[in-house]
Amino acid sequence: MATDVHAREGAAERLSRLIQLPTVSAEIDERGNAPFEAFIALLEELYPLTHARLERDRIGELGVLLRWPGADSGLDPVVLMAHFDVVPVDESDDWAHPPFGGEIAGGFVHGRGALDDKGPLLVILEAVENLLAAGFSPPRDIFLSFGGDEEVNGHAARGIAAEFVRRGITPWLVLDEGGAVVASPLPFVRGRAAMIGVAEKGTTTIRLSARGDGGHASAPTGPTAVARIARAIDRLGPGTFRARTPAGVSRMLGMFAERASGPARLLYRALARWPRLAALVFARLGGEPAALVRTTVAATVVSGGTAANVLPSSASAILNLRVAVGETSAGTVARVRRRIGDRRVAVAVEEAGDPSPESGTDNAQFALIAAAVAESHPDAAAVPYVMMAATDSRHFHRFTPATYRFAPLAMPGELRASIHGANERVEVAELARGERFHRALIESIPGGTA
């Protein structure tokens, strides 16, 4: 039975205050820790019941872990995750409202972090504070895991996950940021869908480096260091890695088939039934569809040379790989070496991250998320998919089979494009719906042996 809860007014104003703190993790060396400490202190001010009744631990410099004791602490707990750092603002971007102003205008809260990830963090705390005020007690422990450096590799979340391992705790459910409520998720698919990330691709960073004979640019001899790096990058085209369709994508296509009409329904059914066909079609489409079914590789930083008329003796490039579900970081690196095929190009791994395993969609955890979506966004079907970006939950999936990624906010395409870009904002009405999602989810967490 649902708890008699009266949601507090002022969620938009509270989010506004959180946005005004410039918790830019990539600039922490310049700004210092003060904005992050102010943010953590502000949470205590804005959510007094939560901080009075939940146990709080600081994990490392930027990790906050809150434990809400349940009726039976012997049961595996639920972990609700979010991060409170944000990416930098490009000064050349044209913002309609100041990025750290937190202005409320036109039915939106504007500013960096409104969607990624202070808005999703806020709706978790809104639900917890409201349930505490109503006297609700969960049947099992609930942990709130908040990290302050997700945008720069997530050391805080790594430390929090390590703390769970140290305590011998295996969560029953982990829910982090990820998908959102979207309209017309694929062509000819009717209605809205709540995209639940059941897996995420791995992230691997490789440095290529080459040396060659320096000298005057007027008399080049043989392949220069720059030429070797350019040739290596050119060999790593879209077809470097084989396309394969993860089970989560097949399930997604099957659900979309039920919401499509005409020839599109037949197409989606065929793609869901024949994964090899889906992989071929998505790979040919390129862009995001192709990224769903194969490992991608992109050169993001290239360097070498000091002057226009000097042959550089060394050159390098940074490659960003997003490793497909079902593959490994080690395997992708080996394939990169084979494709480059040049022993004078050194391949060094700077960061290695494997993809997550796929969490199920036929279990009580996914059903719990879907039921909460039905409460907050009743017109949206809960649909599994594979995330291409990395989240803090990647530090949990190695020991938590039920790890999902979903922010319970409606994000039309224009809003999704504002994440990490200009004019990021969240609709005020969505904050209430997000609170309703988390409240419904928390109220329905099962006890016993579920």
Q: Are 438 and 124 in contact (CB under 8 A)?
A: yes
Judgement on whether residues 175 and 132 belong to the same structural domain of the protein: yes
How far apart (Å, rounded) are the C-alpha atoms in residues 320 and 147? 23
235 in any annotated domain: yes
Residue 379 and residue 311 share a domain? no
**CATH code for the domain in which residue 326 is found:** 3.30.70.360
The model's pTM is: 0.93
* 155 touches 392 (CB < 8 A): no
Same domain, 336 and 415: no
Residue identified by tokens 């790979």 is 283
Q: Give the whole-angstrom CA distance, residue 293 versus residue 250.
A: 10
3-state secondary structure of 121: helix
Residue 186 lies in a domain: yes
Question: Do 364 and 323 sit in the same domain of this protein?
Answer: no
Are residues 219 and 181 part of one domain?
A: no
pLDDT of residue 45: 98
How many CB atoms are located within 10 Å of the residue 186 CB? 16
The verdict on 418 and 319 lying in the same domain is no
Predicted local distance difference test score (pLDDT) of residue 186: 83
Q: Are 146 and 81 in contact (CB under 8 A)?
A: yes
Number of domains making up the chain: 2
- 195 neighbors 180 (Cβ within 8 angstroms): yes
Separation CA 40–CA 62 (nearest Å)? 9
Is position 258 within any domain?
yes
Cα separation, 338 vs 208, in Å, equals 13
Are residues 289 and 260 both part of a single domain? yes
Helix (H, G, I), strand (E, B) or coil at 18: helix
Domain span including residue 395: 11-197+359-443
- Do residues 17 and 57 share a domain? yes
Asked whether residue 242 falls in the same domain as residue 151, the answer is no
Domain edge (last residue) among 351, 377, 405: 351
Q: Which of 125, 118, 108 is nearest to 83 (CA)?
A: 118
Cβ neighbours of residue 161 closer than 8 Å, sequence gap 6 or more? 395, 396, 399
Domain termination residue (choose one: 351, 377, 403): 351
Say what the pLDDT of residue 17 is.
98
Among 301, 109, 326, 62, residue whose Cα is nearest residue 201: 326
Distance between CA atoms of 417 and 404, rounded to whole angstroms? 22
Amino acid identity, position 224:
T
pLDDT, averaged per 10 consecutive residues of the chain (450 residues), comes to: 82 98 96 96 98 98 98 96 97 95 98 98 98 97 98 92 97 97 88 96 96 84 89 95 95 93 93 96 91 95 91 95 96 97 96 94 97 97 93 93 97 94 98 98 87
Residue-wise pLDDT for 380-406, tens only, equals 999 999 999 899 999 998 899 999 999
Residues 340-358: pLDDT tens digits?
999 999 999 999 999 999 9
pLDDT of residue 325: 94
| Residue where one domain finishes, among candidates 326, 351, 376 | 351
Is 117 part of a structural domain of the chain? yes
Same domain, 164 and 242: no
Residues 250, 294, single domain; the answer is: yes
Please write the tens of the pLDDT for every residue from 9-62: 999 999 999 999 999 999 999 989 999 999 999 999 999 999 999 999 999 999
> Which pLDDT value is given to residue 156?
97
CATH number of residue 185's parent domain? 3.40.630.10
Distances (CA, A) of 344 to 42, 215, 226: 54, 19, 12
Distance CA 366, CA 360 (A): 7
**8 A C-beta contact, residue 325 and residue 358:** yes
Place of tokens 């008399």: 219
| Ordered strands of the 314-323 beta sheet | 296-304, 314-323, 202-211, 345-351
Residue 5 lies in a domain: no
- The residues near 146 (Cβ < 8 Å, ≥ 6 apart) are 63, 64, 65, 66, 81, 82, 83, 84, 121
